[in-house]
Structure 1
Amino acid sequence: MNKALPRSPHPRKRLNVAFLLADRFTLSAFANFVDVLRLAADEADHSRPIHCDWTVLSADMNPVRSSCGVTIQPDTRLQRAGSYDYIVVVGGLLGEASALAPEAVRFLQARAEEGVPLAGLCTGVFLLHEAGLLSGYRCCVSWFHHQDFLERFDGAELVSDQIFVVDRDRLTCSGGHSAAHLAAFLVERHVGHSAATKSLSIMIIDGAMSADKPQPGFPIRLAAKDPLVRKALIRMQQKIDGPETVLELADGLGVSRRRLERKFLADLGTTPSRAGLQLRLDHACALLNRTEKTVTQIAFATGFCDTSHFIRAFKSGLGLTPAEFRRTEFRRTKGRSTDGPQRAVGVLLPQAQPPAD
C-alpha cells in the first residue's frame, strides 16, 4: 500500500514541475509525463500553461541527448531555479559516466533537505539512490532493471511488480506508459480528476491506473524468498526469448550449478530448469490472453525452438493447446470489464526431486 502525499486544499491548484534530464535519458518516459501535464494545463488541447507549468533545468544549458539521439534544450539554469511542487529526474542508459552533473546532484540534495518531493522516472531511481536520496524508501524499478539495482544498491525497499510507488516525498516509476500514469496521479491530486482523465484520453490511454497495477510484460507467480533465487528468476525473465542453460545461468550469477539447484529446491521445491519453463509458459499465457500474436510468434518470443515444441510443452503443462487456451480465455473474459479482477493464468509444474549426489 503506497503512502499518499497530502492532498492539496485547492482542487485546481497550479502544478509546477521541474525536470532534470540525465545524459542519454529515456525520451518516452519524459514525453509521457510532460504530455499529461501539457494536456491538463489548459482547456481542450491548447497547451497553454494555465493549470500546470513545467521547465527543464540545467547546470550549463547545453542540449541534453536522449538515448535515441533526440536532444532537448533546457529552459532554466539551476542558479535561477524557482519553487516547484515536484522535481522529476528522468534516467537514461545505465553505466553512463555523466548521467547527472555534480551541480544537479547537489541541487537535488538541497531541495530534498527543504522537503520538495522528488520523482524518478525509469532509471531515474538509480540516480536518486546514487545521490543518497532513497535510503529507507520504497522505490519502483522496472522488472528489467531489478537485478541491476540489487547489484548496485542497498538501503531501499525495491518494488518491481507495480507501475509506480509513492512513499512520502519520493515518487518512482518503472518508465514508459507508467510515467503517464504517475503524472496523471499528480494532476488528479492538484488539478482535478477531469483534467487527468482528459489528458490520458487524448493520449489514447484507457484510464488512469493505480500505483499497484502490475507492470505489464512478464507475470511471475514464483514467490521466491532466497535472494539468489530471486536474482535467478529476474535473469530468466530478462532472457526469456533466449533462455540460458542452468550452467550458463549459474555462471552468470557467479555460483556453481549445484548450489543454484539446491537453492531452488529449498526455496521453491523445483529445479531452475522447471522454474524457467514455468516462467516461459506463464508469459505465453499472458501473450495469448492479451495480444493477437500468432502461436508461432509467441513460441519464438518465449524461447522455444519451433512451434511444435512450444505446443507440446504448453499442452503438457496446461492440458490445452495454445489455440484451445486462447479460445477458452476469450470466452471466459468476453463482456468482463477490463477494470475487474484478473485471474492468474498459467502453469504450475510438479515439484522436483533433490539433485543426486
Structure 2
Amino acid sequence: MHRIGLIVADNFQVLALSTLSVFEFANLVVGEAFYQPTVYSGRGGPVRSSSGVSIDSVALSDEVVVDTWLVAGVLMPASQPASGETINFLQTTARQARRIAGVCTGAFVLAQAGLLENKRATTHWAHAQSLKTLHPSIRLDEDRIFIIDEAIWTSAGMTAALDMALGMVEKDLGETIARDVAHRLVMNQRRAGGQTQHSQMLALAPRSDRLQRALEYARNNLNKSLTVEILADAVHLSARQLSRLFRTETGKSPAKAIEGLRLEAARLMIEQSRLSLDVIARESGFRDRRHMREVFVRGYGVPPQSLRSGR
C-alpha cells in the first residue's frame, strides 16, 4: 500500500483536498486500496481552511511513515510562514519519503524548509515573483503546470495540482490507469507538466460576440488558411473592422492571435497524441515542421519534441 500524506495548515486552500480524489479514484480503477491518503498538520486536530471549512488531521510525528507527502498552500503564502513543527518535520522525517510535493503555494513551505535549494520548481503564477524574491536560489519556472526535480514535485495553482497527482498515478500505475482516472473525474484533458499555466482563449479575453465567433471559427479551422478576410467573412464584418476589433479587445493583430491558437493546439496534440510532428504541424496550420519549431521556441522557449520526450 502506498501512503499519501497531505499536510495542511490554518487558512489552507480547500481545493488542495481535491488531489486526494485522484488517488481515491485510482483505487477504484485498479480495484484495490493501492493508495491510503491521510490529512496531517503540525499539531493535529481540526484545521480551518481559507473558505471557513474545517477538516480533522493527524499530528505529524517521527513515527509517521508515508511514501508521498503533499504540502498544501495558503492564500497569502508570503505573509504566513509554515509552523516550526511542519518545517522541522519536512527537514527530517519527510526526507525519507519517496517524493515530496508542493501543491500550489505549498512550494513556499518546501522552500522555507530548504527543499527547493537549487531545484527547478513552479507555483501559482500570481505568487511566482514573491517566491523568487524570498528564495532566489530556486530555479523557478513560473509558467509550467507542474515540475519534477528528482524527488521534489511542485505544481502551479489550483486545478494544476490534479494534473500533478495524475502524473504521480501515471508514474506508479501507468498511463492507461491515469487516463481512466482522468476520465472518471470528468477532466476535459490531461495536462503534462510542460504545459503552460495560461490558456490562449482566456489570455485573448474577447468581449464582443463577433470576436468570440471569429476566434471559435479559427480554432475549429486551424488546418485551413485563416486570413483576416476569411475570418471577417465568417462573422460578417469587413477585414478592416475585424482588424480594429482584434487590436481593441486583445491588443494583438489577427495573425498573432491565430498563431497563439495554433501553438496551443499543436502543444495539446503533442502532449495527448502519438501523431508525428509533421502531421501535427499540418493539422494545426503551420507551414511545416520547421515553422512549428520556430514558433514553439519563440513562444515556450523549448522545441516541440521536448514535451514528448518528457513523458
Range class of TM-score, shorter chain: 0.5 to 0.7
How much does 1:20 deviate?
Answer: 0.5
What does residue 183 of structure 1 align with?
A: 165
The 1-side partners of 2:54 and 2:78 are apart by 16
d(CA) in 1 for partners of 2:7, 2:79: 16
Per the alignment, residue 188 of structure 2 pairs with 206
CA contact (8 A) 1:164 1:178 kept: yes
| Whole-angstrom CA distance in 2 between matches of 1:135 and 1:141 | 15
Deviation at 1:17, TM superposition (A): 0.9
Q: Does residue 103 of the first structure (1) align with residue 85 of the second (2)?
A: yes
Deviations 1:131-180 (A, max 9, x none): 11110111112221122112222211001111000000110001222111
C-alpha contact 2:118 2:138 (8 A) present in aligned 1 = yes
Distance 1:156 1:138 in 2: 6
Change (3 A) 1:189 1:93: same
Question: Are 1:63 and 2:46 an aligned pair?
Answer: yes
Task: Spell out the pairing of 1:97-246 with structure 2 (5 A cutoff).
Answer: 99-114=81-96, 116-217=98-199
The partner residue of 2:245 within 287, 311, 320 is: 311
1:339 aligns with 2:259: no
Q: Which of 1, 7, 11 in structure 2 is aligned with 1:24?
A: 11
1:90 to 67, 72, 83: 72
Q: Secondary structure at the match of 1:92?
A: coil
Specify every segment of 5 or more residues in structure 1 that has no aligned partner in the other structure, as ranges: 1-13, 220-281, 299-307, 349-357
Match of 1:231 in 2: none
**Partner amino acid for 1:77?**
A
How many residues are paired up?
247
Of 54, 63, 69, the match for 2:37: 54
| One-letter amino acid of the structure 1 residue matched with residue 119 of structure 2 | Y
CA apart distance, 1:295: 5.0
Report the counterpart of residue 275 of structure 2 in structure 1.
Answer: none
Instruction: Tell me whether 1:283 sits opposite 2:265 in the alignment.
Output: no
Q: 1:113/1:53 Cα in 2 relative to 1: closer, same or farther (>3 Å)?
A: closer
Asked whether the 8 Å contact 1:64–1:72 carries over to 2, the reply is yes
From the two aligned structures, give the one with the greater helix fraction: 2
Give the direction of change, closer, same or farther, for the CA distance of 1:316–1:208 in structure 2 (3 Å limit): closer
TM-aligned CA distance change 1:71 to 1:294, over 3 Å: farther
Distance (Å, rounded) in 2 between the aligned partners of 1:73 and 1:214 = 34
CA offset at residue 22 of structure 1? 2.5
Q: CA RMSD in A?
A: 3.9
Aligned to 2:24: 38
In 2 relative to 1, CA 207–188 (structure 1 residues): closer, same or farther, beyond 3 Å?
same
TM-score (ref. length: structure 2): 0.66
Contact kept in structure 2, 1:143 and 1:161, CA below 8 Å: yes
Q: Secondary structure at the match of 1:87?
A: strand
Higher mean C-alpha displacement, 164-173 vs 130-139: 130-139
Cα displacement string for residues 25-66 of structure 1 (whole angstroms, at most 9, x for unaligned residues): 1111331x111011001248xxx8611111111232221111
Q: Does 1:72 align with 2:55?
A: yes
Q: Say if 1:296 and 1:321 are closer, same or farther in 2 by CA, change over 3 A.
A: farther
Question: Percent identity among equivalent residues?
Answer: 24
Counterpart contact for 1:141–1:172, Cα < 8 Å: yes
Contact 2:78 2:108 in 1 (8 A): no
Q: Shift in Å at residue 188 of structure 1?
A: 1.4
Secondary structure in structure 1 of the residue aligned to 2:186: coil
- Equivalences for 1:291-306 in 2 at 5 Å? 294-295=208-209
Cα displacement string for residues 315-345 of structure 1 (whole angstroms, at most 9, x for unaligned residues)? 99655599xx78x999x89x99952566769
Is 1:21–1:90's contact at 8 Å kept on the other side of the alignment?
yes
Change (3 A) 1:339 1:110: same
